[in-house]
Structure 1
Amino acid sequence: MPSSSFGASLATPKLNVAIDTGNPFLNVTVDGFLKIGTVAAAKSLAEDAYYVVKGGNFSGRKIEHSLKKMCKEGAYWGTVAGMYVGMEYGMERIRGTHDWVCCLYLTI
């Protein structure tokens, strides 16, 4: 029966999070989803914080809208990154090598 575990380490300036699902393909895909999804959510938060500071108006509706936007952006870009990393990993496993030709197949 497969088991999963969670591990994290913090080293300046890196934060590594490892989720072991028991399947290397899923490990790589989930890792890509989490890393890029977090970056997209942080970018969205930074943009909204800039507009709040610049505009000066701070309301509950804006916070709610900002939170929804953060979740949507994180989920969207995380899904795209997870699919890309998963496809790249699959192509690498099929071909047996890791090179730029693998990435060219994905763009054609």
Structure 2
Amino acid sequence: MSSNLETRSLLDDWRNFDKGCFFDLGHPLLNRIAESFVKAAGIGAIQAAARESCFMAVEGTESSNSPDITGSKNKKNRFPDLRGETNRKSLEAMVKSTGKESLQWGLAAGLYSGLTYGLKEARGAHDWKNSAVAGAITGMALALTSEEASHEQVVQCAITGAAISTAANLLTGIF
């Protein structure tokens, strides 16, 4: 058994990650939630870090008085602590924002994956209905994580989540 551990490579570990046996928490539902969370959180962190790095670089090259694409001189800064500088405050804001977005991606993927698995086990079928319900609940949960969640926004996110997940389920195998 120890020889197997010594001969395994990083590539072997990544192959096992795709097969779904990276975690063993004792129950398939927990394994699925944990794997979905880790995969999506990693993707969310990479996406957020790349976006904010690009934003910092673009803001650092532009002067504060130059007009933006719309022609207004007062640009609305999406991240008020990011100033396009390489100072400590900008880096801290980037790490905080990346961590928050990574957590949101992970929670959304874990919730969706857990709901689809639970509904499949409860109903005995994996179809578009499970995807629609899981997508709607996940969409509502994501809407509630925003700072200014309104009733209309929660309903819109539920409808959007249901539509996207249903479409993905129905289009599986077509492309």
* TM-score calculated relative to the size of structure 1: 0.79
Give unpaired runs (5+ residues) of structure 2.
Answer: 1-11, 61-84, 137-161, 163-175
Deviations 1:32-61 (A, max 9, x none): 111111111111101111022223321111
Structure 1 vs Structure 2 CA RMSD: 2.2
- The count of aligned residue pairs is 99
Structure ID, larger Rg: 2
Q: Higher relative contact order at CA 8 Å, sep ≥6: structure 1 or structure 2?
A: 1
Q: In the alignment, is residue 94 of structure 1 matched against residue 122 of structure 2?
A: yes
Q: In the alignment, is residue 45 of structure 1 matched against residue 49 of structure 2?
A: yes
Query: Quick check: 65-74 or 17-26, which moved more?
Result: 17-26
**What SS class does the counterpart of residue 14 from structure 2 fall into?**
strand
Question: How many Å separate the matches in 2 of 1:104 and 1:33?
Answer: 20
**What SS class does the counterpart of residue 45 from structure 2 fall into?**
helix
- 1:81: how far off? 1.4
* TM-score calculated relative to the size of structure 2: 0.51
Query: Quick check: 53-62 or 69-78, which moved more?
Result: 53-62
Give unpaired runs (5+ residues) of structure 1.
Answer: 1-7
Q: Write 1 or 2 for the structure with the bigger share of strand.
A: 1
Question: How many Å separate the matches in 2 of 1:25 and 1:95?
Answer: 15
Query: Quick check: 48-57 or 83-92, which moved more?
Result: 48-57
Question: How many Å separate the matches in 2 of 1:10 and 1:31?
Answer: 13
